[in-house]
Amino acid sequence: MTPVIELDNLRVKLGRREILKGISCRLGASGSGKAIGLLGPNGAGKSTLILTLLGFHKASAGSARILGLDCHRQSRDVKSRVGYMPENEALIADMSAVRLLRIMGELSGLPSRVALEKAHEVLFHVGLGEARYRPLGTYSLGMKQMAKLAQAIIHGPELVILDEPTNGLDPAARARMLKLVLEMKNDHGMNVVLCSHLLRDVEEVCDEVVILKDGAIVHHANLEEERRANRRFVELEVSGDDRNFAAALSEHGAEGVNEGAGKWRIVLPPEIEIDTLWRIIGRESLDVQRLTHRRDSLEEIFLKAVGHIQRTAGDSAAPAQEVATNGRL
């Protein structure tokens, strides 16, 4: 089955600087109605990747495809099948929402009459029906975010790229936005790429996640599989001779990284209980100064991926990616 997004050794340069450094992956390969989270620290290359997918940047090497279409050579076809909600405000202040959406629908290939009907329909769907004739410049931040979402989906795209859709929203508006995203995915079969700094948003709506750092993919995870793994993440601080502690953990199927000064990061598989960890600590005659544990979360996945790259600064990109992708910590 054709993946939603396929990157093959994609490299993108802006001026003399290489932003995307040979990234390869297949995302949303199991069909329609999938949500893909795009994560990474500032400067990781997320915006460059999005603009490359939309055909605004040309690859210096490799290729990027959406729904089987080459993002550069077939950019017109790509844009007719993709909706885009930008992070920054991209609305015309003195134009009404219904007029803007009609124009965006026509630009996406809809006949004028159909575009007008869809504009009314979509604005009611996102909760802006009563304000659809008001100038967009009079909208609150939450209303503007909903208007940006509406223009992205007016033409019924197969893929919607959402860049920071909950940025600046209050809790109620955020919940409404995420509910709409889930409806797009589950009820209408749209594929979604969600780029956000809020890991909770990605964890709530996405099926898989790709994490970028310094223009490279450092982790690609199926979130459903991660949830089923049900691992627990432990932070431990001990005093005493802990030289054999890693081997003792390994005997029980657990994995640990010694961060020095008696500090450990440990991943416990589902079959290992905290009581087992306490027995290992007692057997090694260690004194516990601090122990915290929680279920593995997207936050831990993100910190492990990015953290490994930081700890291996100066190494080549390929070994760092392998550690972050295949390692537990």
User: Cβ(78)–Cβ(54) under 8 Å?
Assistant: yes
Instruction: Report the CATH number of the 5-224 domain.
Output: 3.40.50.300
Position 230, amino acid: N
Split at pLDDT 50, 70, 90, the class of 258 is: confident
Q: Is the pTM of this model over 0.85?
A: no
Distance of alpha carbon 286 from alpha carbon 188, whole angstroms: 56
Q: Is residue 38 within 8 Å of residue 234, measured between CB atoms?
A: no
Q: What is the pLDDT of residues 272-296, one digit of tens each?
A: 778 888 988 999 899 998 888 766 5
Q: Specify the 3-state DSSP secondary structure of 282.
A: helix
Label the pairing between strands 17-27 and 255-260.
unpaired
Residue whose tokens read 């432990």? 234
CB 167 within 8 A of CB 145: yes
Count the Cβ atoms, other than its own, within 10 Å of residue 162: 29
Check whether domain 227-326 has CATH 3.30.70.250, yes or no: yes
Residue-wise pLDDT for 312-323, tens only, equals: 333 333 333 322
**Local confidence band at 228 (pLDDT 50, 70, 90 cut-offs):** low
Residue-level pLDDT at 311: 36
Beta-strand runs (E) in 182-286: 191-195, 208-213, 216-222, 232-239, 255-260, 263-268
Domain 5-224 matches domain 227-326 at the CATH topology level: no
**How sure is the predictor about 265, in pLDDT bands with cuts at 50, 70 and 90?**
confident
Domain boundaries along the sequence of the chain: 5-224, 227-326
Query: CB-based contacts of 245: which residues, under 8 Å, 6+ apart?
Result: 238, 256, 258, 264, 280, 284, 286
Question: In this predicted structure, which of 84-93, 98-107, 160-169, 254-263 has the lowest mean pLDDT?
Answer: 254-263
pLDDT score recorded for residue 229: 60
Q: What radius of gyration, in Å, describes the C-alpha atoms of the chain?
A: 23
What is the average per-residue pLDDT within 146-163? 96
Q: Are 11 and 39 in contact (CB under 8 A)?
A: no
User: Given this model, what pLDDT does residue 162 score?
Assistant: 97
Distance CA 181, CA 187 (A): 10
The pLDDT, as a whole number, for residue 318 is 33
